[in-house]
Structure 1
Amino acid sequence: MGICLSTRIKAESATQIGGNSKYVSTNGNHTGNSSGDGDFVLVSEPPTPQCEGEMLQSSNLKNFELSDLMMATRNFRPDSVLGEGRFGSVFKGWIDKDSFTAAKPGTGMVIAVRKLHQESFQGHREYLAEVNYLGKFSHPHLVKLIGYCLEDEDRVLVYEFMPRGSLENHLFMRGSYFQPLSWNLRLKVALGAAKGLAYLHGAETKVIYRDFKTSNILLDSNYNAKLSDFGLAKVGQSGDKSCVFTRVMGTYGYAAPEFLATGHLTAKSVVYSFGVVLLEMLSGRRAIDKNRPYKQQKLVEWAKPHLANNRKLFSVLDNRLEGQYAMDVAHRVANLALQCISTEPKLRPTMKEIVKELEQLQDIKNVENTCSRTSNGPRQCRQSAKDAGNKDANDAYPRPSASPLHSK
């Protein structure tokens, strides 16, 4: 029997985020920010199936047997763990690409299997949200949900495997595998993520992706960005209305200040989060980094005064990029990030406008990457390691610490 979820109107109060912890919550959930202004509009849960049986049956997903997934992941062995999420672990597995039955390790199709903790009620809600959203949507920049398993107390989700892992790893981890992402790849990832968000904000979907951050942007073998983890996503409202959430959830450092203060959530809240991620990609710095000097610990506060100043912008740009960019393009990216993190939501661009701007910058980049000829012959274009995006895609790399659907 499925467990029906209540559709009662939410009326809880926003939680406070402390300064000494990345995640702060009174109920074990991630806490975060969001934005918006104007009158509050209290809304109920999304008008989607609220019974777990009804919701699962309405999807076009594969209903896996737990025994098959145990075989596919070698009984959820610890050495198959790809990462740790909020409410469970993610394991690497193999299935036959046609029958979806378990396959021997190293054969068939690679999958990422997320097994949720049995005791987490919030995890169960996120489980249903993942099925509700990813089970219905199909887009090149959203991680594909292949299927699910629900047997007794076991709840499992099966996703496509993302060989390159998360953007977070490539920006912030150090090691022989994680070479610094080139300028060109950063623009490519930013555009892909923006397209995914623009799709979610579209007229037909109207989904507000509440936990946009680098660890939830996964990369395939060609560095195509795909959004993952829809457990905190919500259906948006039409017009100027917005959702109001009294349980403010997300990740500290990424969300717009108004959401933290009011719980008022709009699509422009996500635009702010995108601006923070874009700033991380520009600078190579984390949104919150307690290891830096006090005035540099909050990336937005530190970098914001520098973004509009051509001379000061150099101090923000990641020095590992080694001059791979043209300054006029860097200025435009910095200006876009500055617009996104505006304290006034109405001044932030839409995701559709962001996509258009990044596409124009991609066109400029492509022209600049065309090697100019001199009297001495063609000049080589400068690229960083793995810039082509199709080399050593199946190489193993160190296991990340905490993020869903990471690859080894």
Structure 2
Amino acid sequence: MFDFDIIKTATNNFAHDNKLGQGGFGAVYKGMLQDEQEIAVKRLSTTSGQGLEEMKNEIDFIGRLQHKNLVRLLGYCLEGDEKLLVYEFLPNTSLDKFISDPNRRRRLDWQTRVKIIVGIARGIRYLHEDSRLRIVHRDLKASNILLDGNMNPKISDFGLAKLFGNDETERNTNQIVGTFGYMAPEYILHGIFSTKSDVFSYGVLVLEIITGEKESVYREESAEGGDRLSYVRRKFILLRNRRITLVIKSA
């Protein structure tokens, strides 16, 4: 457990220049401890009613899970109205920043994309099968995939995660939470979620990584009568025809 003054000093009093991003439950800041260890601090909003419950969830799960493709929680701080989570700092921030930024996207060569896809899959398999806990994440999306200095992916944000029993296959809820576009149809329509729900979200992530397009593009496509697979298929055909044209011209 961190003292609030230590975190306040490390982030230069949560200076705007140290702000890494803004999520639904608060802002994230870069900081440096006195031993020069870089950290990322999630400062949960004081107006968020769900913040404390999600914070407890995060501490409970990440504190007991250890895997190279999961973000590492270093500690937390509860003082007055302040609710802080302290993580390892990952210099390349989140995957969505690379997908949405044309300049950063150039760093995503095919070898790097495959490494990210495989790394996320290993993290999910650990949560579902290989850890002593069986966890359904429920909010896998590009902004919750962080990248280290070598572009290795790490799954983050376990605020919505649920613990499953060894013999439990699915669960039903009336409270639909998560990010639309990554949610499985049975979850949206009937509130049923399971490890399969995470696999569906992973599939959307794979499409984003391969195409370099955000999932909102697929939603726009669906509104016009298409779907994700139709969109990817058309992209593939266009890319293939372009390559054939280039080969003919070079010949």
* Maintained 8 Å contact 1:283/1:316: no
Give the Cα–Cα distance (whole angstroms) in 1 for the partners of residues 33 and 108 of structure 2: 31
Q: Does 1:313 align with 2:251?
A: no
- Which amino acid letter does the alignment assign opposite residue 158 of structure 1? V
Q: Does 1:154 align with 2:92?
A: no
**Superposition map of 1:214-253 within 5 A:** 214-239=142-167, 241-253=169-181
Deviation at 1:303, TM superposition (A): 3.7
Q: Does 1:90 align with 2:36?
A: no
Normalised to the residue count of structure 1, the TM-score between the two structures is 0.55
Deviation at 1:289, TM superposition (A): 3.0
Pick from 15, 19, 24 the counterpart of residue 81 of structure 1. Answer: 19
Structure 1 or 2: more helix by fraction:
2
Give the Cα–Cα distance (whole angstroms) in 2 for the partners of residues 92 and 313 of structure 1: 39
Sequence identity of aligned pairs in percent?
A: 37
Give the Cα–Cα distance (whole angstroms) in 2 for the partners of residues 218 and 122 of structure 1: 23
Give the Cα–Cα distance (whole angstroms) in 1 for the partners of residues 226 and 201 of structure 2: 14
The secondary structure found in structure 2 opposite 1:92 is strand
Deviation at 1:178, TM superposition (A): 4.8
- Which amino acid letter does the alignment assign opposite residue 47 of structure 2? E
Q: Name the structure 2 match of 1:192.
A: 119
Distance 1:316 1:194, change over 3 A: farther
* Maintained 8 Å contact 1:199/1:205: no
* Maintained 8 Å contact 1:237/1:243: no
Distance 1:301 1:272, change over 3 A: farther
Deviations 1:167-209 (A, max 9, x none): 111112133x552411111110010011011000016221001
- Which amino acid letter does the alignment assign opposite residue 314 of structure 1? I
Give the Cα–Cα distance (whole angstroms) in 2 for the partners of residues 84 and 75 of structure 1: 17
Q: Which structure exhibits the higher relative contact order, with contacts defined as CA atoms closer than 8 Å and separated by 6 or more residues?
A: 1
The secondary structure found in structure 2 opposite 1:115 is strand
Q: Name the structure 2 match of 1:179.
A: 106
- Which amino acid letter does the alignment assign opposite residue 253 of structure 1? G
Normalised to the residue count of structure 2, the TM-score between the two structures is 0.88
- Which amino acid letter does the alignment assign opposite residue 227 of structure 2? W
Pick from 209, 222, 243 the counterpart of residue 281 of structure 1. Answer: 209
Pick from 120, 133, 156 the counterpart of residue 205 of structure 1. Answer: 133
* Maintained 8 Å contact 1:288/1:298: no
Distance 1:312 1:144, change over 3 A: closer
**Superposition map of 1:58-137 within 5 A:** 63-97=1-35, 108-137=36-65
Question: Root-mean-square deviation (CA), in Å?
Answer: 2.5
Deviations 1:241-261 (A, max 9, x none): 312121100101011100011
- Which amino acid letter does the alignment assign opposite residue 95 of structure 1? L
Deviations 1:239-295 (A, max 9, x none): 3531212110010101110001111111011111111111111211111139x9x5x
Large movers: runs of 4+ above 4 Å: 297-301
Structure 2, unpaired ranges of 5+: 245-251
- Which amino acid letter does the alignment assign opposite residue 111 of structure 2? N
Give the Cα–Cα distance (whole angstroms) in 2 for the partners of residues 92 and 141 of structure 1: 20
Distance 1:316 1:132, change over 3 A: farther
The secondary structure found in structure 2 opposite 1:202 is helix
Deviation at 1:236, TM superposition (A): 1.7
Distance 1:161 1:134, change over 3 A: same
* Maintained 8 Å contact 1:306/1:316: no
The secondary structure found in structure 2 opposite 1:250 is coil
Structure 1, unpaired ranges of 5+: 1-62, 98-107, 324-408
Structure 1 or 2: more strand by fraction:
2
- Which amino acid letter does the alignment assign opposite residue 188 of structure 1? K
Deviation at 1:125, TM superposition (A): 0.8
Q: Name the structure 1 match of 2:249.
A: none
- Which amino acid letter does the alignment assign opposite residue 17 of structure 2? D
Give the Cα–Cα distance (whole angstroms) in 2 for the partners of residues 91 and 275 of structure 1: 30
Deviations 1:319-345 (A, max 9, x none): 9xx89xxxxxxxxxxxxxxxxxxxxxx
Q: Name the structure 2 match of 1:26.
A: none
Distance 1:95 1:299, change over 3 A: farther
Give the Cα–Cα distance (whole angstroms) in 1 for the partners of residues 225 and 88 of structure 2: 33
Give the Cα–Cα distance (whole angstroms) in 1 for the partners of residues 216 and 201 of structure 2: 13
Give the Cα–Cα distance (whole angstroms) in 2 for the partners of residues 167 and 223 of structure 1: 9
Q: Does 1:304 align with 2:229?
A: yes
